[in-house]
Amino acid sequence: MDTSDCSGRRGDAKFAGAQERTRAWLAALGFVVAAPAWADDAEKAKTIVANVCSACHGIDGNSTVPTYPKLAGRHPDYIVRELKEFISGKRKSDIMAPICAALDPGDFKGLGAYFGAQKPSSGTVLNAKAAAEGKKLYQDGNELSGVPACAGCHEPDAAGNKRFPRLAGQHREYLVEQLHNFRNDIRNNETARVMREVAKRLTEDEITAVAEYLTGL
């Protein structure tokens, strides 16, 4: 007879009994013993994405519509910040403002986590020459006109971080539109007015080039 196995089983039973008693005590004390809150958040986020976000941004956050941004792989904190700013009006969007206002801000963290965990897709480079010029601008900036390297904030691989969004694989059309919006002060919710200053220093060719480079990453 294997006694160690028996004692092990006895131990498990003892442990389960203790757990039951603990639950009973906690319940008696008024605690609700339930599944962890993050599991609920994740399930809820999935439902919201399916019902609300996926029509434009895709169920996996990889939008197939060039004017709607891809969200897959973006840092959750950045997603939460933008959602809040669509509501407050700091970031202006006639499309996103009413959609976000209809959501519970308590769900934003779950949405950020959901999109942040999706695998980002890459686009296709159509103009290799422009992409090569865009790479140089992205990594080194333009010293003559004082354009900083985009890599300084958005990371060398353009994966972004909690303060600055992922740009790798993003639709070129969306990138060009956002840079134009920064340049024309239409988009003005960024940290310390930095992107408006940068966009005003960019030429049209540079905007096209850097968007071409990023879309292929």
Residues that bind another protein (CB under 8 A): 141, 143-144, 146, 148-153, 163, 191-194, 197
Nearer to another protein, 155 or 173 (CB): 155
Asked if 137 contacts 215 with a C-beta cutoff of 8 angstroms, the reply is no
For the bound state, the minimum distance from the C-beta of residue 96 to another protein, rounded and expressed in Å, comes to 26
Query: C-beta of 216: minimal distance to another protein in Å?
Result: 21
Q: Are 79 and 57 in contact (CB under 8 A)?
A: no
Cα–Cα distance measured from residue 83 to residue 116, given in angstroms and rounded to the nearest whole number = 14
Task: For another protein, give the closer residue by CB, 76 or 141.
Answer: 141
The two most distant CA atoms of the chain are separated, in Å, by: 84
In angstroms, give the least distance from the CB of 202 to another protein: 13
Instruction: Determine the residue type at 190.
Output: E
Place of tokens 């966009």: 199
33 vs 144, which CB is nearer to another protein? 144
Neighbours of 126 (CB within 10 A): 11
CB-based contact 180:67 (threshold 8 Å): no
CB-wise, 150 or 209, nearer to another protein?
A: 150
Q: How far is the CB of 156 from another protein (least distance, A)?
A: 8
